[in-house]
């Protein structure tokens, strides 16, 4: 098997796929979104719960993801990065991850910023898989828009 | 259809396909098992397009110059060639389209046009029913859903059975006097299941329903004879039958086409035009608005020549033997389940399978690392996958140039995929 392949299916990816963190749908939540990747039929339902004190502290991200190892691992890693932090605080991580995954391997991942997210960057060299990895993040973005709209 | 004029020699066939010499890595040849998505093209098809573009190209059916005449001849000869390949009584029954999807949309749109002068049997209205099957490609499902939505007609479907064939138990209550259209695929693009067209056409005729056949998957893989099939319409895509992308065709009985309103409108499809209104040309021109795909038509005609020279009986036999080999090999791997009927004359060269616990994208990724190019996902047949509780499958599909060794490489590759993920978890 090629080295590209082992760069894609790293031990961390397999571990997150097998034992995803924060998986399952939980209450309470302000926003729930359902995203589908129409090319492969993968789906994610994601709920976002922000602090009740009016701040943008992310109290919970819960989700139900049907998809390949890459997309499931991505959801697991993302939820773990987000929970317990302020939206503004995790923005740099979100932006850096998006840039690196879309860079075809030119931008190296910063582990300080995105933690286990670096394990997903093997997908950057496989354009067909970038969408899989980004699906949970797109769901989070949409949920955030909804949650903010709800607050007015 | 015509008799084969060359022996079915896979090595000689492979030499006709320039792309098959491509390497994916320095030591990894490409094994292309995705002809069901789009086929590769032999040099005879590529050469025909180049020859046309190098000698005869101009706009068709307009202009008085000699080049316009040459281009029109090439285009109309291609129509004749496709008609002969399909066993159509007349080339005037063939309208070139962009692909099978457009051909099916053409029929669905035209039947729902609502023009008061259209005869009743070619108008779908509220209270009518449209019957499809649960194994349709989205191309032969969504246009009918939309026709039902626009007209108030009801969409019904023949369900799939547990054995991956159509369940015709309730056909009598599904196909009734209310059924205006029966639209079915000739062959499932996922399961490989061949539709019992004879039985369905007979039942549809008995209740006066129009029959539409999605032949995109079947035309390149089995002897095809419209006269014998007895359907009213058939749709196909050039790029699935060794021809170019950007061209497909709708065949329809002339007396039906003649009474149908157009789908796309504009240049080339008119008879007279005033500022207020227009009248339309006779078929097939009525259904070919705008400048058509000319060099693609020439390429498609060359693809018909190529397939006919091999003989469709021989093509079908070749792909049957590969299918049997694949189904047996894959079924022998622990954790692998073939999603389709057991190898028999009732199935053909698309072999979908499920690797327990592994998402098809992950399976396809490992196979690609071995140079094996297969399709993954729901293959534009989402309801079919849902029927069997699957989110997707991995599908290998075979072509005239596929060898037994490539099928063995697939089976070996799937076994290695199971090992790869087994070792990781």
pTM across the whole model: 0.93
Please give the Cα distance from B108 to B105 (Å, whole number). Answer: 5
Judged against a pLDDT cut of 70, whether residue B394 lies above it is answered with yes
Residues B329 and B348 placed together within one structural domain of the fold: yes
Please give the Cα distance from A94 to A12 (Å, whole number). Answer: 19
Please give the Cα distance from B166 to B186 (Å, whole number). Answer: 12
Question: B219, B109 in Cβ contact below 8 A?
Answer: no
Residues of A with CB below 8 A from B366's CB? 1, 5
Chain B nearest-CA distance from A106, in A, is: 21
Residues B200 and B187 placed together within one structural domain of the fold: yes
Residue with tokens 């070139």: B96
Residues of B with CB below 8 A from A74's CB? none
* Closest alpha carbon to B214 in B87, B96, B101: B101
Judged against a pLDDT cut of 90, whether residue A39 lies above it is answered with no
CB contact under 8 A, B361 and A40: yes
Residues B199 and B328 placed together within one structural domain of the fold: no
Which of B255, B283, B308 terminates a domain? The answer is: B308
Question: B278, B258 in Cβ contact below 8 A?
Answer: no
Is the minimum CB–CB distance between A11 and chain B shorter than 8 Å? yes
Q: Collapsing DSSP states into helix, strand and coil, what is residue B266?
A: coil
Residue B3, in any domain of the structure? no
- Per-residue pLDDT of B96-139, as tens digits, reads 999 999 999 999 999 999 999 999 999 999 999 999 999 999 99
Residue B4, in any domain of the structure? no
Q: Give the per-residue pLDDT at A1.
A: 60
Judged against a pLDDT cut of 60, whether residue A56 lies above it is answered with yes
Judged against a pLDDT cut of 60, whether residue B4 lies above it is answered with yes
Domain residue ranges in chain A? 3-146
Q: Give the per-residue pLDDT at A2.
A: 67
Q: Where are the beta strands (DSSP E) in B274-363?
A: 278-280, 336-338, 350-355
Please give the Cα distance from B157 to A17 (Å, whole number). Answer: 37
Tokens representing residue A53 in the block: 């004190």
Model confidence band, residue B247 (pLDDT cutoffs 50, 70, 90): very high
Rounded mean pLDDT of B26-48? 97
Judged against a pLDDT cut of 80, whether residue B357 lies above it is answered with no
Question: B134, B383 in Cβ contact below 8 A?
Answer: yes
Q: Give the per-residue pLDDT at B1.
A: 53
Please give the Cα distance from B300 to B295 (Å, whole number). Answer: 9
Question: A72, A81 in Cβ contact below 8 A?
Answer: no
- Per-residue pLDDT of B178-231, as tens digits, reads 999 999 999 999 999 999 999 999 999 999 999 999 999 999 999 999 999 999
Q: Which residue of B has its CA nearest to A123?
A: B365
Residue with tokens 């015509």: B2
Residues B92 and B200 placed together within one structural domain of the fold: yes
Q: B422 or B163, which is more confident?
A: B163
Residues B344 and B207 placed together within one structural domain of the fold: no
Model confidence band, residue B425 (pLDDT cutoffs 50, 70, 90): low
CATH of A3-146, one of 3.40.50.740, 3.40.50.10420, 3.90.1010.10, 2.170.190.11: 3.90.1010.10
* Closest alpha carbon to A147 in A44, A62, A47, A79: A47
Order of strands, edge to edge, in the sheet holding B154-158?
B94-97, B248-252, B233-237, B210-214, B179-185, B129-133, B154-158
Q: Give the per-residue pLDDT at B63.
A: 80
Q: Give the per-residue pLDDT at B88.
A: 97
- Per-residue pLDDT of A79-134, as tens digits, reads 999 999 999 999 999 999 999 999 998 999 999 999 999 999 999 888 888 999 99
Q: Collapsing DSSP states into helix, strand and coil, what is residue A56?
A: coil
Residues B99 and B204 placed together within one structural domain of the fold: yes
Residue B335, in any domain of the structure? yes
Phi then psi dihedrals of residue B184, to 5 deg: -135, 155
- Per-residue pLDDT of A71-80, as tens digits, reads 999 999 999 9
Rounded mean pLDDT of B281-304? 98
Please give the Cα distance from A132 to A135 (Å, whole number). Answer: 6
Is the minimum CB–CB distance between B388 and chain A shorter than 8 Å? no
Tokens representing residue A101 in the block: 């995954």
Q: For this structure, is B304 an active site residue?
A: no
Residues of A with CB below 8 A from B360's CB? 40, 68
Chain-centre distance for alpha carbon B296:
16
Any long-range contacts for B118-126 (C-beta under 8 Å, 24+ apart)? B118/B259, B118/B260, B118/B261, B119/B259, B121/B180, B121/B208, B121/B210, B122/B210, B122/B256, B122/B259, B122/B260, B124/B151, B124/B153, B124/B180, B124/B181, B125/B151, B125/B152, B125/B153, B126/B151, B126/B152, B126/B153
Q: Pick the catalytic residue from B106, B124, B380, B396.
A: B380
Is the minimum CB–CB distance between B284 and chain A shorter than 8 Å? no
Q: Give the per-residue pLDDT at A26.
A: 97
Rounded mean pLDDT of B355-381? 94
Residues B303 and B315 placed together within one structural domain of the fold: no
Number of domains in chain B: 2
Question: B397, B319 in Cβ contact below 8 A?
Answer: no
Q: Report the CATH number that the domain containing residue B373 is assigned in CATH.
A: 3.90.1150.10
| Residue-range definition of the domain harbouring residue B331 | 10-41+311-424
Q: Report the CATH number that the domain containing residue B109 is assigned in CATH.
A: 3.40.640.10
Which of B285, B308, B331 terminates a domain? The answer is: B308
**Of A8, A9, A40, which is closest to B392 when you measure between CB atoms?**
A40
Residue B5, in any domain of the structure? no
CB contact under 8 A, B424 and A1: no
Is the minimum CB–CB distance between A36 and chain B shorter than 8 Å? no
DSSP, res A23: B
CB contact under 8 A, B425 and A14: yes
Q: B376 or B63, which is more confident?
A: B376
Is the minimum CB–CB distance between B137 and chain A shorter than 8 Å? no
Stretch among B174-188, B344-358, B383-397 having the lowest mean pLDDT: B344-358
Beta pairing class for A58-66 and B28-29: unpaired
* Closest alpha carbon to B353 in B340, B344, B362, B366: B340
Considering chain B, what is the average pLDDT of its residues?
A: 96
Please give the Cα distance from B158 to A34 (Å, whole number). Answer: 30
Residue B1, in any domain of the structure? no
Rounded mean pLDDT of B148-172? 97
Q: What is the complex's ipTM, to 2 decimals? A: 0.85
Stretch among B70-79, B352-361, B370-379 having the lowest mean pLDDT: B352-361
**Would you mind telling me the total number of residues written for chain A in this entry?**
152
Burial of A110 (0-12, 13-18, 19+ CB in 10 A): middle
Residues B321 and B358 placed together within one structural domain of the fold: yes
Please give the Cα distance from B337 to B331 (Å, whole number). Answer: 6
Which of B308, B329, B362 terminates a domain? The answer is: B308
């Amino acid at each position: 098997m090629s080295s590209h392949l082992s760069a894609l299916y790293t031990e961390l990816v397999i571990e997150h796929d097998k034992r995803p963190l924060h998986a399952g749908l939980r209450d309470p939540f302000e926003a729930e979104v359902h995203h589908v990747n129409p090319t492969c039929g993968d789906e994610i339902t994601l709920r976002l719960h922000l602090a009740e004190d009016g701040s943008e502290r992310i109290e919970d991200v819960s989700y139900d993801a049907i998809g390949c190892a890459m997309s499931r691992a991505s959801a697991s890693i993302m939820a773990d990065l987000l929970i317990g932090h302020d939206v503004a605080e995790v923005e740099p991580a979100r932006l850096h991850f998006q840039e690196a995954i879309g860079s075809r391997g030119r931008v190296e991942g910063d582990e300080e910023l995105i933690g286990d997210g670096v394990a997903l960057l093997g997908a950057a060299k496989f354009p067909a898989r970038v969408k899989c990895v980004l699906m949970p993040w797109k769901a989070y973005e949409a949920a955030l828009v909804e949650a903010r709209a709800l607050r007015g | 259809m015509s008799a084969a004029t060359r022996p079915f020699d896979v090595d000689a066939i492979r030499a006709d396909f320039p792309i098959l010499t491509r390497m994916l890595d320095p030591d990894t040849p490409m094994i292309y098992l995705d002809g069901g998505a789009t086929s590769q093209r032999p040099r005879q098809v590529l050469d025909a397009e180049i020859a046309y573009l190098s000698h005869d190209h101009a706009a068709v059916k307009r202009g008085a110059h000699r080049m316009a005449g040459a281009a029109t001849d090439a285009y109309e000869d291609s129509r004749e060639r496709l008609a002969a390949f399909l066993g159509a009584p007349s080339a005037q029954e063939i309208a070139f389209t962009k692909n099978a999807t457009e051909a099916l949309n053409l029929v669905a749109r035209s039947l729902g046009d609502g023009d008061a002068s259209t005869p009743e049997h070619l108008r779908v209205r509220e209270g009518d029913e449209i019957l499809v099957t649960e194994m349709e490609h989205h191309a032969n499902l969504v246009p009918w859903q939309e026709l039902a939505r626009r007209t108030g007609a009801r969409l019904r479907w023949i369900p799939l059975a547990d054995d991956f064939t159509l369940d015709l138990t309730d056909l009598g209550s599904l196909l009734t006097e209310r059924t205006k259209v029966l639209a079915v695929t000739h062959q499932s693009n996922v399961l490989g299941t061949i539709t019992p067209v004879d039985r369905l056409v007979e039942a549809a005729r008995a209740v006066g329903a129009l029959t539409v056949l999605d032949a995109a998957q079947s035309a390149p893989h089995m002897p095809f004879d419209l006269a014998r099939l007895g359907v009213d319409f058939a749709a196909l895509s050039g790029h699935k039958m060794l021809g170019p992308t950007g061209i497909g065709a709708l065949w329809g009985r002339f007396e039906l086409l003649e009474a149908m309103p157009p789908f796309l409108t504009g240049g080339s499809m008119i008879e007279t035009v005033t500022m207020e209104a227009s009248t339309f040309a006779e078929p097939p021109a009525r259904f070919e608005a705008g400048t058509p795909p000319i060099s693609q038509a020439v390429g498609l005609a060359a693809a018909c020549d190529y397939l006919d020279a091999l003989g469709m009986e021989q093509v079908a036999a070749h792909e049957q033997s590969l299918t049997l080999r694949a189904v047996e090999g894959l079924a022998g791997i622990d954790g692998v389940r073939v999603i389709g009927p057991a190898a028999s004359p009732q199935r053909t060269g698309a072999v979908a399978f499920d690797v327990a616990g592994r998402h098809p994208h992950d399976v396809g990724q490992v196979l690609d690392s071995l140079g094996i190019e297969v399709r993954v996902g729901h293959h534009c047949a989402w309801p079919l996958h849902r029927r069997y509780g699957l989110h997707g499958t991995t599908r290998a599909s075979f072509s005239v140039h596929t060898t037994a060794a490539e099928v063995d490489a697939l089976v070996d590759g799937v076994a290695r995929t199971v090992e790869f993920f087994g070792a990781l978890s």
